[in-house]
Amino acid sequence: MRLGKILCTALILLLSVPAFGSIEHFGALSVEVPSGWTAEQQGSVTVIRKLSDNSSVAVAVNSKGSASLSDIAEHLYTQMNGNSLEEDSDGDYTFRYKSTSGAEGIVILTDSGEGRYILISVSGIENEGIHDEFDRIIDSLDWNE
């Protein structure tokens, strides 16, 4: 009887974890895409989207040119009508925003070295139960250059 309870518990735990699909590659960027999500390249931006609830993760690697990461963060913060621009101890920047569709989001900017920065925009953060999927997508991002 104990083995039956263990197997039943294991099955419940497996079913409660979002299923992830295969790793998809977009140039030098790879990402593990959850089941029920799509991923595509839109110009220089990779977009991972869950259509059923208007959630997405967008990733871009861009040149900083002569600007500092702080300058870029300030510009995007203003352009996107951001809220609460913050710099963490690693020099990364984050702020919250609302998309034109009304979805709440977070922007993360980090210096990737070699004169480039990585922008990650997560939209749909107000959706219940999706934060683990966002975390797993972001944790799976790999820049293979």
**Residue 80 is part of a domain; what is its CATH number?**
3.40.1000.10
Match 């999927």 to its residue by tokens: 133
**Which pLDDT score, from 0 to 100, does residue 8 have?**
35
Please check whether residue 38 lies inside any domain of the structure: yes
Q: Residue 45: exposed, middle, or buried by beta-carbon count in 10 A (0-12, 13-18, 19+)?
A: middle
**66-119 pLDDT, tens per residue?**
999 999 999 999 999 999 999 999 999 999 999 887 889 999 999 988 899 999
The parent domain of residue 107 ranges over 19-143
Judge whether residue 16 has pLDDT over 50.
Answer: no
pTM of the model: 0.80
Judge whether residue 11 has pLDDT over 80.
Answer: no
Please check whether residue 28 lies inside any domain of the structure: yes
- 11 backbone dihedrals φ, ψ, rounded to 5°: -65, -45
Please check whether residue 36 lies inside any domain of the structure: yes
> What's the domain count of the chain?
1
Contacts 24+ apart (CB under 8 A), 41-47: none
